[in-house]
Amino acid sequence: MAKKKGLKLNTRKFVIALVAVYVVCHLIYGTTSIVDLKMQQSQLSQELDAAYTQQTELQAELEYMSSEDAVEKIAREKLGLVRDGEVLIRHVDSGQAQ
């Protein structure tokens, strides 16, 4: 009878030890998961801030490109257009003239 009681007590300690190891392992895994998720959240937050900054810059550029000043600048520089009464003078490099 004494052997059974000792065996029962050892089995109980073993089960408690296994549960304790299981809980500790889950706590460690959970902590590392939380740290990884916090780092990912921080990175995504920085990317979001960069995207908002880029959106603001693009919105400002879009508004400028819709203005008459931008249209005139593009017409003069890219298309070579001039207003009535103006004369277009272009500089030609000697290397390009051949």
- Whether residue 29 is contained in a domain is answered as yes
Contacts of 88 (CB under 8 A, 6+ apart): 80, 82
Q: Which amino acid is present at 30?
A: G
pLDDT-based confidence at 96, cuts 50/70/90?
Answer: low
What pLDDT score was predicted for residue 78?
A: 82
- Claim: this prediction has a pTM higher than 0.85: no
- Better-scored residue on pLDDT, 31 or 9: 31
User: Are 70 and 64 spatial neighbours (Cβ–Cβ below 8 Å)?
Assistant: yes
What pLDDT score was predicted for residue 5?
A: 64
- Whether residue 20 is contained in a domain is answered as yes
Summarised one tens digit per residue, pLDDT across range 38-67 is 999 999 999 999 999 999 999 999 999 999
- Whether residue 1 is contained in a domain is answered as no
Give the containing element (helix H, strand E) for 28. helix 2-65
Residue 32 domain boundaries = 7-80
Q: What's the domain count of the chain?
A: 1
- Whether residue 98 is contained in a domain is answered as no
